[in-house]
A and B are shown apart, each in its own frame.
Chain A
Amino acid sequence: MDFFVQQLVAGLTSGAIYACVALGLVMIFVSTDHINFAQGEMAMFATYLAWAMINAGFEYWIAFGLTILISFAGGLFIQRVILKPLETAPVLSLVVCFIALLSIFNALAGMIWSYTIKQFPTPFPARDLFGNGLVSVQQIGIVGVTLLMLGILTVFFRYTTLGLAMRAAAQNATSARMMGIRVSWMLALGWGLAAAIGAVAGMLVAPIVFLDPNMMTGILVYGFAGALVGGIGNPLGAVVGGFIVGVLENLVGSYIIGNELKLTFALAIVIGVLLIKPAGLFGRVVVRRV
């Protein structure tokens, strides 16, 4: 029973990370219909920035906040400079562009910080919550930070004018433009938010998996799976999906297939969801006009 609880908690913890990654993907998907393959590498790069700042003597939480701000600006910059000119390009051009960004960030991180594995500090004390070896403070911390971020985002999208404008731009770009919303800038904001959320995910997971340029590849795949399970157009769904995938991964991994086939399991989830219920749990079924 203890083992089961441990696996469940571990699953919820990794689920929180996947939820962040999935949320970042959804931020970009709802407004542009694009799947950002560079989401993981952007997060990885941001985590290296945080690592460099902490090494330069910054406090953890200051570095954390600065990294989020820099990532936000970086996401904004990528959308304005690289993707805006391709707004009307075919899908293949965009996919190629995302893959290019993925390669560039991976190569840059390797080039600047080398491919050796680095330790990333954790702000949470290394001890148990109840002293029975079931739940660690770090695990609670990760889930807590994710839920806090989700809360902030909910408030932002529900109760602020800017959030409303972003939702309007995502839902109906033409009408939003007529209401005086600068739709193109709303897309850029979406990119900025996605990059910032990704940075949080990267910094949360780095103490567990250690920091290296390929750290996010597997996590991104689980993020995809989470986003698809919840419905890739739905932020709340993405978070729920992320947690579901995290728990399933851990339980299936430890009881049924072992740790060696975890990525294959993610592949099975991705293909299974796309085949059986492409809209996911919470997504709307898109009806196409013929």
Chain B
Amino acid sequence: MAAVTNSWATKGGPGVVAIAFWALLALLPFGERFVAEGSFDYYLFMGQAMLINAIAILGLNLLIGFNGQISLGHSAFFAVGAYTAAILMNFAGWPYWATLPIAAIVCFVAGYLFGFPALKLEGHYLALATFTLAIAVPQLLKYKPIGKWTGGVGGLLLDKPEAPEWTGLGQDQFLYYLCLIVSILSFWAVRNLLRGRGGRAMMAIRDHAMAAGTMGIDTARYKTVTFGISAGITGISGALSAITVAFVAPDSFTLQLAVSFLVGLVVGGIASLPGCLIGGAFIVLIQNSSQSISDWMKSTFSLRYDVPAWAIYGVLLIALMYFMPRGIMGGIEAVFQRLTTRRERQP
């Protein structure tokens, strides 16, 4: 069989597409004239949410897609990031931007520590332990003795940061750019990480842990550190969410949040970086349009009940596992691969 080469993919084609795509995202805050009057801030807010979810899914993807460790508990790290930012802003008076690296560090440490028990657990057991974590966290955040800091059941209300004068941007435009810049930095960092020695080690562990160990890779160290980095990235997105929503409360960080990250990951594509963006956009779109989807289904299939977003998520997850286990990006890549390689085989 002839070796399949793909010159477009190896000559930096995807990099050009990625830069063009990010540039396009950077232009969006100037598209006010294309939408109905007065709705633009809402679209910007949705854009922020999409980017924040994309970063959270990026963290999860690093762990599940590239290192093969299953986590159903990333809502916990998202919560830790959000609360770190909220507490620093509220009680220590820190500026919003300074809380992001702290959130990353705190979540890295939390994830790194959780990575130690995770070392002994594989597959279903790790899923079970992280599932338990996701369920325990909202209750833990309501714990009275720490209520002075966390605000208990009611949570903490924050001040939304204003755009600096010199930028001349509106508040939502500015926050969108904040999310965009953090996204670009996170995706760039992960891309570089995956291309280096560390990334190859992570993927080797995913593909065959024992073989990786035989090759001299310190599997325990890589797995715990990957857990830490993954949690750190998700923590950054949690901090961003606290900043842009200007509110944190225990009941925003339930198992459902962890499941929605998982949905985004599976829809976008496991082990695919562009897939994280697709997944982030997807879950925000479904959550925002669940009412209209429900109305449409009610009238089309003459149902008596509303169809909640979670039912849609569930059916979609099962359908994807059957027909498209690698998600949307996996599907696109497969089609693209076929098109480009066929072209090259002809002399």
| Interface residues in A87-107 (C-beta closer than 8 Å to B) | 89, 91-97, 99-104, 106-107
Q: Which of B28-36, B40-48, B181-189, B303-311 contacts A (4 or more CB under 8 A)?
A: B303-311
Question: Does B133 sit within 8 A of A, measured CB to CB?
Answer: yes
A35 proximity list for chain B (CB < 8 A): 124-125, 127-128
Q: Chain A contacts of B315 at CB under 8 A?
A: 100, 104
The verdict on A97 contacting B129 (CB below 8 Å), with A111-B306, A217-B135, A217-B255 known, is no
Does B160 count as interface, using CB distance less than 8 angstroms? no
A221 partner, pick from B64, B123, B136, B262, beta carbons under 8 A: B136
A104's partner among B64, B128, B310 (CB-CB below 8 A) is B310
Residue A260 lies at the interface, judged by CB distance under 8 Å to chain B: yes
Alpha-carbon distance A94/B128, docked complex (angstroms): 13
Closest to A37 in B: B131
The contact string, 1 if C-beta is below 8 Å from chain A, for chain B 170-188, is 0000000000000000000
- Knowing A35-B128, A100-B317, A221-B135, the reply to whether A95 touches B72 (Cβ < 8 A) is yes
Pair B143/A261 contact, Cβ less than 8 Å: yes
Segment with Cβ contacts to A, from B12-20, B318-326, B336-344: B318-326
* Residues on the B chain within 8 Å of A107, using CB: 307-311, 314
Partner of B136, one of A91, A94, A101, A264: A264
Does B157 reach chain A (CB closer than 8 Å)?
no
Main secondary structure of the interface of B (DSSP, over half): helix
Residues of chain B contacted by A128 (CB below 8 angstroms): none
Say if the beta carbon of B249 comes within 8 Å of chain A: no
Contact of B142 among A33, A99, A260 (CB under 8 A): A260
CB distance from A261 to the nearest CB of B (A): 6
Shortest beta-carbon distance, B109 to chain A, in Å? 17
Q: How far is the CA of A193 from the CA of B46 in the complex (A)?
A: 45
Contact of B124 among A33, A100, A101, A266 (CB under 8 A): A33
B117 touches A (CB below 8 Å): yes
A275 in contact with B314 given A35-B124, A85-B322 (CB within 8 Å): no
- Is B257 interfacial (CB-CB < 8 Å)? no
A91 & B123 in contact (Cβ 8 Å cutoff): yes
Q: Does B49 make an interface contact (CB < 8 A)?
A: no
Give the residue among A34, A225, A271, A278 with the most B Cβ atoms within 10 A: A271
CA distance in complex: A57, B225 (Å):
59
Cβ A103 vs Cβ B311 within 8 A: yes
A95 touches B311 (CB 8 A): no
Whether A271 contacts B117 in the complex (CB less than 8 A), given A100-B317, A260-B142, comes out as yes
- The listed residue (B120, B128, B136, B255) touching A275 by CB distance below 8 A is B120
Q: Is the pair B120, A274 in contact by a Cβ cutoff of 8 Å?
A: yes
A104-B142 CB under 8 A given contacts A93-B325, A217-B135: no
- Could you name 18 residue pairs across A and B whose Cβ atoms are closer than 8 Å? A37-B72, A93-B325, A95-B123, A97-B321, A99-B317, A100-B316, A100-B318, A103-B259, A103-B311, A104-B311, A104-B314, A107-B311, A111-B311, A217-B135, A225-B132, A263-B139, A266-B132, A274-B121
Could you list 4 further interchain pairs (A-B, Cβ under 8 angstroms) beyond the known A91-B127, A97-B318, A263-B136? Answer: A100-B314, A101-B314, A111-B308, A260-B143
